[in-house]
Amino acid sequence: MLTPLVVYLLVAAPQAAPDAKSLQVSEPQLVGTIDTGKLKGEPTQLAWSPDGSTFCLQTSERDEQAMIKNPRYFLLDQAAKPQPSSGAPDWAAEYWRWKADKSAPGADSFSIDVKREDKTATTTAAPMGGSLARGGATGDPNIGTTAEDVATRAIQMQRLQVITLTLRNEIVGEFVNQQFIPGYTFGWAPRGESVPMIAYRTTTGRLGIMDERGRKQEVNATRDVVLPAWSPDGSKIAFLQKTGKNKYSLSVVTLK
């Protein structure tokens, strides 16, 4: 009599999809320092080449209305040595198209809300009582307020145009009286990641990472972050940090 053959199949348990909060983020590794005083303008775009070996940096100047003008392009190797380019390579334009889009690649529901509003702000903490608030003898705040005080107060009050970017109730960018540059304060992870993610400048100025479900973390060893940009394979995030007048550091963190 033949003994029945019993076959056991071992099925591997499915691995949990990675999320932004549990990602292991390395310490920032300095690639190099960029002197925009020599390049002219300020950084306004940063893109990776498809093989991850080269960056394309755009710098731009601003006019009196804080609108960008005169864009210039530079190619940077892994030593961050800028080489002038006559224009943006095709790969840089394509990278920036999805990197700076309103929605995550392949996930339209993971989308940034853009809000524009006008606000009134006081440029200094000038006393409301005019000359008397600076040492007058009477307690009546209306006596002693001169035409100069009124004019000064009018100058100190200004209208601000504020553009705020929010995603999953998190502010991922804010522009005050400046041209809104998509992708300046955020960058989507490339399409193909199991969980759509975004890298962004937090309200504290640090590098932040958030996924589609709103799970997030801040990278503490960062500050004054702009132009966060994921590598094409999704394993790294490059970003610039302002370190002084016309000085920026280009750094990279590795994700696991």
Task: List average pLDDT for each run of 10 residues in the chain, which is 256 residues long.
Answer: 48 58 96 92 96 96 91 89 94 97 96 94 46 37 50 65 96 95 97 89 98 96 97 97 94 96
12 CB neighbour count, 10 Å cutoff = 5
Phi-psi category of 172—alpha, beta or left, where left has phi over 0 and alpha has psi -120 to 50?
alpha
Q: What angle do CA 250, 111, 249 make, to 5 degrees?
A: 5
Q: How far is the C-alpha of 114 from the C-alpha of 81, rounded, in Å?
A: 35
pLDDT at 146: 53
Dihedral of the CA atoms 27, 33, 34, 38 (nearest 10)?
170
The alpha carbon of 223 is separated from its chain's Cα centroid by a whole number of angstroms, namely 11
Closest CA to 187 of 60, 49, 46, 65: 46
Q: Cβ(210)–Cβ(170) under 8 Å?
A: yes
pLDDT at 122: 61
pLDDT at 142: 44
pLDDT at 129: 40
pLDDT at 198: 98
Task: For residue 223, give both structure tokens.
Answer: 């500050």
- Letter for the amino acid at 27? E
